[in-house]
A and B are shown apart, each in its own frame.
Chain A
């Protein structure tokens, strides 16, 4: 096929283009770090000594959350594009313009709009700074009360998402191509690594749960399986371009679970709906059963989303906490123990990466299978 050759040709280009795309974002040293030292010298902004102490919880939560810039090393960050839909339309600028401030202290002004960034969220800036120099109104719980523009920035997670898609496309289009080249022969190279997994998904996930109609759902199941697995693994790479907590982000897991829900509901047959709205029980039990069943439609995908998010995030937090011990004790001698434990957890996380992809896929197949099951 001609078009497939064109596509294969494009895959290699795709990687180059993506690399260039990343290279375009300016790598800027954090001016905030320098400012920070300045601020601590000035009496007005002197912070209590207690707050300067290493807070392991904050550190871990900060690293598992999404970010508008990509930390490279030390005070160096890659500034990522900020895309906001505001009252005056789209506004774009580089996140480096915030000088990597995350406490709403640096205001960026574009088209007459003023923005601040606090805890990796972008808000409309307040007119004046509060007593901490923050252009934001905080409530007692230190939550920002300011309004937010619609934020569709290319964040660290979005970058990872695009990167993972490039990796997945590169791998699987290459595999598909080698099937064409090796037609009728035994698998070779990367093909023989991927094929058992594809067959595993087909024979151990799709077929037992979906019966003879499994073929329709194979594209979704395979894509979701490899997407989760590849991203789980990318998340375990501790430096650029890995390290983002994409599959431990609710936005991602919710979308995936929602797709399972849509597939379940749109493919549900009359037995599925009858089981929900007219189960084989005395009519007076409907008052209890029907609401329970309706809630059940939604709890299944919610559980899917939460499970994936919680497992992957927990893994990241665990690894970060173990490494964070070095800074908690403020001693290099803790490092060997920390690293040994972190390595152990990382190896387990490799397993979890696969298991969570497997569980998400098999449960999706199970839910869809329950909806399309024929009763005789």
Chain B
């Protein structure tokens, strides 16, 4: 039972010593330590948050890159397609133009040939007629040397005329 009864001396010492200890520790230990721990925790949280944000930003940037790559690829494809179409149209146009041009030339050539032919025929006719006249003249001159023959000729001519 004696163990249970607190001794007044120790009660006094304990009270004074403990309170002093508490105040000294509160001022010189707990305050700076707790503040430092809190500050460090805050710093760690902040760093982690920042890392998380950076990660998100990275993901966002990667997505953005992917997007712009896709866009660029699509644009390239479009441009290529357009260019191809343009090329095709140009080629086709050129082809058709060439064709029409060729056709025109051929036509012209044909006309020219025709004209030349006509001119040649006309000339031929001219020459033939000239030659015929010449021949005729010579023949006539030859035949008309005698009177009978002149007569025959005239008769014959006349006969032809009548026949015509």
Interface centre among B5, B20, B26, B36 (most CB of A within 10 A): B36
| Chain A contacts for B32, CB-based, 8 A | 176, 179-180
B2 proximity list for chain A (CB < 8 A): 65, 119
Contact partner, A172, options B15, B25, B43, Cβ 8 Å: B25
**Binary contact track A166-179/B, C-beta < 8 Å → 1, others 0:** 00110011011001
* B26-A219 in contact (CB<8A): yes
Q: Are the CB atoms of A168 and B3 closer together than 8 Å?
A: no
**Closest chain A CB from B7 CB (angstroms):** 5
**Is B34 within 8 A of A202, CB to CB?**
yes
Name A179's contact: one of B10, B11, B33 (CB within 8 Å): B33
Shortest B50–chain A CB gap in Å is 16
Residue with the highest number of chain A CB atoms closer than 10 Å, among B4, B7, B32, B43: B7
**Given the interface contacts A119-B2, A168-B21, A223-B25, does A175 sit within 8 Å of B14 by beta carbon?**
no
User: Contact at A255–B15, with CB atoms within 8 Å?
Assistant: yes
Say yes or no for A126: interface residue by CB 8 A criterion: no
A22 to nearest B CB, angstroms?
16
Interface residues as binary, B10-30 with A (CB distance below 8 Å gives 1, 0 otherwise): 111111011011101110111
Q: Name the prevailing secondary structure of the A interface residues.
A: helix
CB distance from A254 to the nearest CB of B (A): 5
Known: A65-B3, A176-B32. A255 touches B39 (CB 8 A): no
The reply on A264 being an interface residue by CB < 8 A is no
B8 CB-CB contact with A under 8 Å: yes
A50: min CB distance to chain B, Å: 23
- How far in angstroms is the closest Cβ of chain B from A5? 11
Which one of A157-165, A329-337, A360-368 contacts B? Answer: A157-165
Q: Residue-by-residue, is A239-257 near B (CB-CB < 8 Å gives 1, otherwise 0)?
A: 0000000000111101110
For the residues of B in contact with A, the DSSP-based class is helix
In which size bucket is the chain A interface?
Answer: 35 or more
Chain B, residues 36-77, CB within 8 Å of chain A (1/0): the string is 110110010000000000000000000000000000000000
User: Could you say which of B5, B17, B33, B39 contacts A198, with CB atoms under 8 Å apart?
Assistant: B33
CB of A152 within 8 A of CB of B8, answer yes
Tell me if B34 and A66 are in contact (CB < 8 A). Answer: no
Output the nearest chain B residue to A254 by Cβ-Cβ distance.
B6
How far does the alpha carbon of A254 sit from the alpha carbon of B12 in the complex, in Å?
11
Alpha-carbon distance A119/B2, docked complex (angstroms):
10
Chain B min CB distance to A31 (Å):
25
- Whether A323 is near chain B, meaning CB under 8 Å from some CB there, is no
The interface residues of chain B lying within 8 Å CB-to-CB of A173 are 28-29
Contacts of A65 in B (CB 8 A): 2-3
Decide if A199 touches B14 in the complex (CB within 8 Å): no
Question: Closest approach, in angstroms, between the C-beta of A70 and any C-beta of chain B?
Answer: 15
Could you tell me the distance in whole angstroms from the C-beta of B38 to the nearest C-beta in chain A?
Answer: 9
- Closest CB in chain B relative to A357 CB, distance in Å: 14
Q: B25 touches which one: A158, A168, A251 (CB < 8 A)?
A: A168
Closest A-chain residue to B32, C-beta based?
A: A176
What CA separation (Å) do A180 and B31 show in the bound complex? 12
- Partner of A223 from the list B4, B5, B21, B39 (CB cut-off 8 Å) is B21
CB within 8 A of B9: which of A61, A152, A165, A256?
A152
**Contacts A119-B2, A165-B21, A223-B26: A176 and B33 contacting too (C-beta < 8 A)?**
yes
* Residues of chain B lying within 8 A (CB to CB) of residue A195: 33, 37
How many whole Å from B16's CB to the nearest CB in chain A? 10
Chain A residue with Cβ nearest B7? A251
A158 & B34 in contact (Cβ 8 Å cutoff):
no
The chain B residue sitting closest to A222, CB to CB, is: B30
Q: Point out the residue from A4, A83, A172, A249 that lies within 8 Å of B10, measured CB to CB.
A: A249
Could you tell me which A residues sit within 8 Å of B by CB distance? 4, 7, 61, 64-66, 83, 119, 150-153, 155, 157-158, 161-162, 165, 168-169, 172-173, 175-176, 179-180, 183-184, 195, 198-199, 202, 215, 218-220, 222-223, 227, 249-252, 254-256, 259, 309, 313
For the A-B complex with A65-B2, A313-B3 known, give 14 more contacts whose Cβ atoms are closer than 8 Å: A150-B9, A158-B13, A161-B13, A173-B28, A183-B36, A195-B33, A195-B37, A198-B37, A219-B22, A227-B21, A250-B6, A251-B11, A255-B14, A309-B4
Question: B residues near A, CB below 8 A?
Answer: 2-15, 17-18, 20-22, 24-26, 28-34, 36-37, 39-40, 43
Closest 10 A/B residue pairs (Cβ): A219-B26, A251-B10, A251-B6, A172-B29, A179-B36, A152-B9, A176-B29, A223-B22, A250-B6, A255-B14
Report 19 cross-chain contacts, Cβ distance below 8 Å, ordered by A residue: A61-B3, A66-B10, A83-B9, A155-B7, A169-B21, A172-B25, A172-B29, A175-B33, A179-B36, A184-B39, A184-B43, A195-B33, A219-B22, A219-B26, A222-B25, A223-B26, A250-B6, A251-B11, A255-B15
